[in-house]
Chains A and B, each alone.
Chain A
Amino acid sequence: MTVFCLAELDGDAVADASLRALTLARGLAAGAGTGVAAVLFCDADLASALDLAAYGVGDVFAVSGVGGYAPVAWARVLAELLEADDAAPDMSRHAVIAGGTERGNEVLAHLGAITGLPMAANCVAASPADAGRLEIVRQRWAGLLLEEAVLDAPVALLTVATDAVAPEPAAAEGAATVHVVSPPVSEADLVVRAVESPAGAGGASLATARVVVGGGRGVGSADGFAPLEELAGLLGGVVGVSRVVTSEGWRPHSMQVGQTGTKITPDLYLACGISGAIQHFAGCSGAKHIIAINTDPSAPMMTRADYAIVGDLHSVLPALIEALRQRA
């Protein structure tokens, strides 16, 4: 048997989400006494250049000939790799694992539909249980709630939450063998395929910003964001907003932090006038430091922050901006 892991690329490197998936895959494979095989949709040269052995990968399948991202075709290739592996003498169980990204969840859901197997999205842990089953823990509510479950299937399909399992290289490094695979792909499986083009500025910078100045209902209006924007500029950061701000139309959805917006991981999240609905924490709990400014000292954002200032953001922020200017 084999634990297959779909490895996505971020530029010419393995994507962070896939390193997390490989880490979970390695633990699962070790528990089952088997190895990890990485599946990449790229040419053999690039696949060979990636140091996948560092993550405990023994076999690398470099799939060529699909021509870009086509979710059904990718899933079909994984289904065929499973079948080929099935023909091997050891008929014990398999798993297919991917990072819980848009593509990872999408491809594994297609694989589930093609094979008739269940799929568990955004797992944070998986370990072998009795009778070939897996005990899993997966995220619900974008991680605000955890589900403990038994995944009972001949082949376990699961994705790994992008913010839970820390990427960790293997203790002992072996060598990876690269296999070049060029499976026939039917036209029908290529009907839906991605055409890539540069995206406009926006969401991406929020996800990677070192400083995020957050604004919520307490900002009061679209015009009320002026001091937040000025402060973000002074701190080399960007402005993020809570869901109520986009629902009111004060700022676009691309600036939203939270379960249905962007997950942020800044060094500092300065939350101004945000009460802290639990869905908002799903987006900002990855911040290293949280400072909250709010008139209500009992607001969840104030009690869960590292530092709190009780007061109106409209008087605190201008004073802060003034102090930072004088400092410069």
Chain B
Amino acid sequence: MEILVCVKRVPTVGGVLTLTADQRAIDTKTSGFTISPHEECAVEEAVRLVERFGGSVTVASLGSPVAEEQLRACLALGASAAVLLETADGVETGPVATAAALRTVAASGSFDLVLLGNEASDTGDYQVGIRLAHLLGRPVATGIKSIVVSDEGSLSVSRTYRGVLETFTLPLPCVVTVKEGINLPRYPSLPGRLRAKRASITRVPVDEAGPAPASDVRMTRLRVPDAPKKQATVLGHGPDAVPALVSVLAEIGVLS
């Protein structure tokens, strides 16, 4: 099974989210970067499928050259080839253009399966996988938490929705977007990390010149929502605080 996994480099945010002075991006001076969580699980799922059924995993990312860090992390997890769709630094590519760029990679190989995350953790557009599937003319299922390969060259994939299990049967080739929880990603092995360090990454420049699309969602600025200014009431230290805690629980009305 030949599998393409599309991943995105996103900031690692810890306790606070701060913006750049122009309010158009997250200030990442002090944060690290990681693979968007759903997509890390997509890579793990692809590696497991290939370990079981043979084939290989290719990873692709749209981003500036620094996104090579995330592609190498995918290689360390078991992907065997990586493609960087190279954009200029600091450019945010919207979902329509992202799907168009990913199509060039997805259509170039004979991939049985294209995996993506259900949504990127940073922009949360919820549509790149679906737009890519339409460009490729392939069926797609989203938000998937389980993939089972049937004998007849099709996938049985499922998700839970309002407490109901929804199962979709997709003929291969197809596109699937997954969510965290479909698996528990492995830690990269030392040989994997060494291999990833040496591996060559194919770079494909993405042509962003040309007129802006007539229709689009054009970001004006970002803002951090006003958090309720709460000052926690300290009930006490250690077990001595338990009587005060019990009073609060009674007040809230959770004690029967």
Contacts and interface: CB of A to CB of B under 8 A. Distances in A.
Interface string A294-328: 00010010111111111110011011100110010
A112 B246 contact: no
Given A195-B166, A320-B242, A102 B232 contact: no
Interface string B126-149: 110011011100011111000000
Interface stretch (B60-68, B73-81, B157-165, B197-205): B157-165
A118 interface: yes
A206 to B, nearest CB: 11
Given A267-B252, A277-B14, A323-B243, A196 B124 contact: no
Contacts of A140: 122-124, 222
A119 interface: yes
B222 A112 contact: no
A141 B121 contact: yes
Nearest to A75: B130
A247 interface: yes
Given A191-B139, A197-B164, A309-B245, A276 B15 contact: yes
Interface stretch (B1-9, B188-196, B233-241): B233-241
Interface stretch (A45-53, A147-155, A167-175): A147-155
A22 to B, nearest CB: 18
Interface string B29-68: 0000000011000000000000000000000000000000
B72 interface: no
Contacts of A237: 254
B180 A260 contact: yes
A75 to B, nearest CB: 9
Contacts of B217: 118-120, 136, 138, 149-152
A222 interface: no
A311 B143 contact: no
Interface in B85-140: 94-96, 119, 121-127, 130-131, 133-135, 139-140
Interface stretch (A32-40, A57-65, A251-259): A251-259
B76 to A, nearest CB: 17
Contacts of A297: 234
Interface string A268-303: 100000011111000000001101100001001011
A154 B224 CA distance: 30
B60 to A, nearest CB: 19
A297 B232 CA distance: 10
B223 A146 contact: yes
A145 B15 contact: no
B130 A109 contact: yes
B17 A144 contact: yes
Contact of B232 (A118, A149, A192, A292): A292
Contacts of B16: 278, 300
A71 B141 CA distance: 9
Given A118-B217, A277-B14, 11 more contacts: A108-B127, A113-B133, A113-B134, A119-B125, A141-B13, A149-B217, A152-B218, A278-B13, A278-B16, A311-B238, A324-B255
Q: Which 3 A-B residue pairings sit nearest by Cβ, starting from the closest?
A: A253-B181, A109-B127, A319-B239
Interface of B: 13-17, 26, 37-38, 94-96, 119, 121-127, 130-131, 133-135, 139-143, 159-171, 179-181, 184, 213-225, 227, 230-239, 241-243, 245-246, 248-249, 252-256
